[in-house]
A and B are shown apart, each in its own frame.
Chain A
């Protein structure tokens, strides 16, 4: 049933006209909010796609629809050429065993009542993953391996998540995601909850893992500097639509949309010296004229 070798020509994910509305009960009956509005998206094998946009632009909804955690209200979602929207959980075996997620807040994504070892090996114990031949069978061995990969002590396995710092917890979440050797990694604002000092470290970890395991990466963030660091393609979202997409350097060099330009302009420069430069200077390619108030060294 499952094709183990992904055909390089078949996109990993394909979304066709995907919409998603949420019903909220307001004071005057029900209110419909549109989180996704006709999104078309193709993710090719080995692509490292960044999805950027302001909060509320539908980024998180989009990846939840892609990962079949939320059904779309309309439209089609295909994983390796097979429909996964409104598929039963049994039909999702391929998706579940090949795609893993890393969430924004490790305080919420790690069960406080499970030990780190149990958390990391949980995907390995999933009935859908056990059926895949390349999922590691020796859980203890794989646990030690991934702990080393994310640079955590081996004895971390016996401890509980609350005993770790934010950065360490996010590395635990990453270890859990890579434990079953997925082909696709989806990261939802995976570094936004971290301190700036830890962020770079976790980000590098992501980049290394993706490179060494040749993963397809979908990296959601509101921070373009972060996306630029790990992705080669970018899709810009606004109000539930993808307003612009393409190779990352192209988008950064010549953003076609006003919105993208504004997003780019809101990225703080990494080497800031003064308060005035922080507000205006952006981390944009050389073509962009430097801000008039460049700090006089």
Chain B
């Protein structure tokens, strides 16, 4: 039970953010885009639970709606990364050692490209940044991490005798990949998904803070940070609110990843 602690805390935090995002589709206390200069920078009150920002927009409503973008970009980016990275890693893990090494060296080169740089490049090529460029940039830059994890795990699966048994009865490489390798590396991939989500959400916040991700008027937590920093001396709570939510989300996913890692560790599992 002690071991499942991070798993539970992580799941609760992530679940909370997911609920926020879902709720925002049905209900927000106020219109998150409604600008009213007469009520700018209000402290938290019953009508405005977290106060209002410099434009008089309700911060809580914007946090709710911001959770959508944060989840959308995170999930889509990680999907891109996993769908491309895992097959590359499996391919490298199933190839002869020197071929696999060559593939992984290419993955390492891409590892050196930060998501940020890629997003700026994409945004420049497109003329302007968008939610899409953020997703693609973060997704592409998370491919190498997935490839690496999948490669190491598949190589260890390939050395086990059940693969030799399958080969000796003429099972083809694709069938071995689907039937044996993928199911056996799934736990480690899952752990990677969780921690990649944390990183993707952080990257998304950074991109929208810099203005190369989702464009203004659509509320995002990163953008809210940017807008609030003007008031950091007079109204520090303004900047704290989105920052805390970003931190909670990233922490949640990281805890979830750690918890999964422990829960799926074969050495611990065998005791169960």
- Contact string, A214-242, partner B, CB cutoff 8 A, digits 1/0? 00000000000000000000000000000
From known contacts A69-B164, A110-B162, infer whether A128 and B180 are also in contact, taking CB-CB under 8 Å.
no
Q: Which of B105-162 contact A (CB under 8 A)?
A: 160-162
Residue of A nearest to B160 (CB): A108
- Contact partners of A112 in chain B: CB under 8 A: 184
B166 touches A103 (CB 8 A): no
Residue of A nearest to B165 (CB): A109
B168 touches A127 (CB 8 A): no
Q: Given the complex of chains A and B, what is the CA–CA distance between A69 and B171 in angstroms? A: 12
A176 touches B170 (CB 8 A): no
B169 touches A122 (CB 8 A): yes
Q: Which of A38-46, A90-98, A271-279, A289-297 contacts B (4 or more CB under 8 A)?
A: A90-98
- Contact partners of B161 in chain A: CB under 8 A: 103-105, 108-109
- In the assembled complex, the CB of B171 is this many whole angstroms from the nearest CB of chain A, namely 5
For chain B, the count of residues having a C-beta within 8 Å of the partner chain is 17
Number of A-B contacts (CB under 8 A): 68
Q: In this assembly, does A204 line the interface, its C-beta being within 8 Å of a C-beta of chain B?
A: no
Q: Given the complex of chains A and B, what is the CA–CA distance between A196 and B170 in angstroms? A: 33
- Contact partners of B165 in chain A: CB under 8 A: 101, 103, 109, 122, 173, 176
Q: In this assembly, does A281 line the interface, its C-beta being within 8 Å of a C-beta of chain B?
A: no
- In the assembled complex, the CB of A179 is this many whole angstroms from the nearest CB of chain B, namely 9
| Shortest Cβ-Cβ A-B pairs, 3 listed | A128-B170, A96-B170, A123-B169
Q: What are 27 A-B pairs at a CB distance below 8 A?
A: A64-B164, A67-B168, A97-B169, A97-B170, A101-B165, A101-B168, A108-B161, A109-B160, A109-B165, A110-B162, A111-B162, A111-B179, A111-B183, A112-B184, A113-B184, A114-B179, A119-B162, A122-B169, A123-B171, A125-B171, A126-B170, A126-B171, A127-B170, A127-B172, A128-B169, A128-B170, A129-B170
Q: Taking beta carbons and an 8 Å cutoff, which residues of B are in contact with A?
A: 160-162, 164-172, 179-180, 183-184, 270
Other than A64-B164, A103-B164, A123-B170, give 19 A-B pairs with Cβ distance below 8 A: A89-B170, A89-B172, A92-B170, A96-B168, A96-B170, A97-B169, A100-B168, A101-B168, A103-B165, A104-B161, A105-B161, A108-B161, A109-B162, A111-B180, A114-B179, A119-B162, A125-B171, A126-B171, A176-B165
